[in-house]
Structure 1
Amino acid sequence: MNKKKFSIKNIPGWVVTLAIFGVLYLTGLHTEAIGQVQRILLATGIKNADVPAIDEVSTNPEAATYTSAGAPMAGAGFKMVDLNGKTVAFESLKGKVIFLNIWATWCPPCIAEMPNIHSLYKKMDPNKVAFVMLSVDEGGMGKVKKFIDKKGYTFPVYMPASQFPQEFYSTAIPTTFIISPDGKIVAKQEGMAEYDTKEVREFLMGLAK
């Protein structure tokens, strides 16, 4: 009887693929791997963030607002805690444009869009535009801090320290809100997107004037 020699070439492709994803999953690297693939897709420009025309917001403040009627500002009363353990009132940011991104370390699309958000952050004036990278991870701050330190991101990162505001609820993660200096939500993006674009930069700077 002829015995066939074992060769890796004889292993079906689906088995190899399954094995690779199994290893990635067991080592916790599957989120990073998927995020890298999605990051490549973002780099093609097929998923740029949608923002309204600045003239539309200026002339008709109610045209693109998601803020509850009568509320002093979106997120009024909401409290957050930063990675140093300091509690911050969301209302303390009123008067600036707020770029609010809701994310988690286990979310590949969140990881995919973070580099371009960080790139945008470094181009904005912190006295005019406040970035709030709001993690919804469960299980404490340690995991989030470890992730941010590993990536070398310098934008402000927070976790909820009070009940989540209804106006920030979304069916998707990540979700990004842009809030005007007077506290109105003027743009909302569900799902990952490319934010470091000419349109978004001009929109943020136009709101900040």
Structure 2
Amino acid sequence: MVKDIALKNYKSWINWSTISSVVMIGFILVLLLIPDTKAIVLEGLMKIGFFQPELPDESKQKSLIASTNVPSVQFQDKTGKIVSLEDFEGKVVFVNFWATWCPPCIAEMPSINKLRKSLNDDSKVAFLMVDMDSDRAKSSRFMLKRKYDLDIYLPVSQLPREYYTGSLPTTLVFDKYGRLLFKHEGGADFTNKKFVEFLKKNMI
């Protein structure tokens, strides 16, 4: 009799509602614990139109340009050379602050790589992928494994809050005169048509 009651209770617990709840909880845990899985989901959402970069209006752009009057920012390139943003004068500079453990960073990386390939003109634009963990070996393995053609830089000076407040990823675009034109916190699809046109317009 006790066994029958226990079996009946067990069968009533095992139903589609319970199974779907367990599967959903498992899926959420996977998203929380495995960055690559979360990145795949975010990348898929980008492809269907979510997480698009918001271009600044005239008022916001004036504010961004005004914020450019900050101390010089320096980075270390792949050869160990220390460079500053001023060294890229004459080029549009795309700066992305990222880390290998950051799902939105991983999710947007394919679009940044595709953008760089589509422009294919290093004389007019520079891409600085700034590893905020300053772990060149790890970030280099990341790029190599995914076959991304993006140069890694490490921060070697304090970053002003006008450029970076701690949110990863953060993307900046400076014009060829060194003025900040664009700032975006969070992942985004940088193959967005309007963003590409914005970038090309400033490369002229």
TM class by shorter-chain length?
A: 0.7 to 0.9
- Deviation for aligned residue 1:165: 3.5
Count of residue pairs the alignment pairs up: 194
Give the match's secondary structure for 1:142: helix
Task: Report if aligned partners of 2:143, 2:150 keep a CA contact under 8 Å in 1.
Answer: no
User: What's the CA shift for 1:194?
Assistant: 1.1
CA distance in 1, matches of 2:45, 2:27: 21
The CA distance in 1 between the partners of 2:47 and 2:30, in whole Å, is 27
Contact preservation (8 Å) 2:97, 2:168: yes
Matches within 5 A, 1:119-134: 119-124=114-119, 125-134=121-130
Q: Which residue matches 1:63?
A: 62
Partner residue, 2:53: 49
Counterpart CA distance in 2 for 1:183 and 1:198 is 24
Task: Provide, for residues 45-103 of structure 1, a one-character-per-residue CA deviation record: whole Å limited to 9, x for no partner.
Answer: 122212247xx5xxx9962524446x3xx6x5322123443433332111100111111
1:98-113 pair list within 5 angstroms: 98-113=93-108
Structure 1 residue runs without a partner (length 5+): none
Amino acid of the residue matched to residue 79 of structure 1?
Answer: Q
Tell me: CA distance 1:112–1:167, structure 2 relative to 1, closer, same or farther (3 Å). Answer: same
Letter in 1 for 2:194: E
Alpha-carbon distance in 2 for matches of 1:163, 1:65: 19
CA contact (8 A) 1:64 1:187 kept: no
Could you tell me how far 1:13 is from its partner in structure 2? 4.4
Deviation at 1:183, TM superposition (A): 0.8
Which of 39, 44, 65 is 2:43 aligned to? 39
For 2:82 and 2:72, locate their aligned partners in 1 and report how far apart those are by CA, in whole Å: 12
Distance in 2 (CA, whole Å) between partners of 1:154 and 1:171 is: 25
Aligned partners of 2:100, 2:43: CA distance in 1, in Å?
15
1:156 aligns with 2:155: no
Query: TM-score, normalised to structure 1's length?
Result: 0.78
Q: Which moved more, 1:15-24 or 1:99-108?
A: 15-24
1:138-149 aligned at under 5 Å gives the runs 138=134, 140-149=135-144
Shift of 1:126: 1.2
Instruction: Determine the C-alpha separation between the residues in 2 that align with 1:199 and 1:136.
Output: 28
Q: Unaligned regions of 5+ residues in structure 2, if any? A: none
Kindly tell me: are residues 47 and 105 of structure 1, through their superposed partners in 2, closer, same or farther at Cα, counting changes over 3 Å? same
In structure 1, C-alpha distance between the alignment counterparts of 2:75 and 2:28, rounded to whole Å: 36
State the AA in 1 paired with 2:38.
Answer: I
Q: Distance in 2 between matches of 1:22 and 1:142?
A: 29
Structure label with greater radius of gyration: 2
Give yes or no for contact 2:53–2:195 (8 Å, CA) kept in 1: yes
Query: What's the TM-score once normalised by structure 2's chain length?
Result: 0.80
Structure 2 distance, partners of 1:88, 1:107, is: 25
How far residue 33 of structure 1 moved from its aligned partner, in angstroms, is: 0.3
For the aligned residues, what is the CA RMSD? 3.0
The corresponding residue for 1:88 is: 83
For 1:24 and 1:107, locate their aligned partners in 2 and report how far apart those are by CA, in whole Å: 12
CA separation in 2, counterparts of 1:48 and 1:22? 26
**Of Structure 1 and Structure 2, which has the larger fraction of its residues in helix?**
2
